[in-house]
Amino acid sequence: MAENIYPIFDQTLTRQDKETLLKQRAIVVWMAGLSGSGKSTLAKGLERELHAQGFLTELLDGDNLRSGINNNLGFSEADRLENIRRSAETAKLFLQAGMVTICSLISPTEEVRQIARNIIGEADFFEVYVNAPFEVCAQRDVKGLYKKALNGEIKNFTGLDAPFEAPANPDLEIRTDQEDYSTSLHKLINTLLPRIKPNN
């Protein structure tokens, strides 16, 4: 019952306390794009590079989340919304712990991305659109999902029979169909570093 819940948010150590300890500024990097666009590849590269530079990070990948905290969710509209809500709430916990949190989720509509943005907070939500057209992702088909979807074996597949709305105004857009991995990763890191280095 809600009336029997007594949060202690105001009694715990602050995010600033954690950031000072870690010598970094926390942020949530929310990477959206079609399956096969390169989100997970870039997220893993970003995590490794930031770790090498002394930053503490956490990577929340959509498939990992669906195999754990979200393993009871399907792909109905309601379940997709709940998937994003739980993922964003999890990211917010790491944000409050002072960490650079990298989220790699398809996040197919403006509605679900706005849910995440509202939970995390506008100032801490850095949206990256990993952009590759459906045809390019289908050619790559790194997980074999496009073949199954095009054969009718997967229903509600994003970009085919479920909508994908491109972010209208992302903080960063990366065209993985037009530039190689190293260029994309370099662009991502260089954009983020000024935002996560501590103020001197």
* Sequence ranges of the domains in the chain: 14-132+165-196
Q: What's the rounded Cα separation, in Å, for the pair 194 and 73? A: 37
Active-site residue, 107 included: yes
What is the distance of C-alpha 112 from the center of its chain? 12
Per CATH, which fold does 14-132+165-196 belong to?
A: Rossmann fold (3.40.50)
List pLDDT tens digits, range 145-192.
Answer: 878 777 777 777 776 777 789 999 999 999 999 999 999 999 999 999
> How does pLDDT run across 74-89, given as a tens digit for each residue?
888 888 899 999 999 9
- Cα 98 to Cα 166: distance, rounded to the nearest angstrom: 29
pTM (predicted TM-score)? 0.89
The Cα 58–Cα 22 span in angstroms is 13
Question: Which token pair is 138?
Answer: 């289908």
Structure tokens belonging to residue 48: 């490794």
Catalytic residue among 104, 107, 182, 184: 107
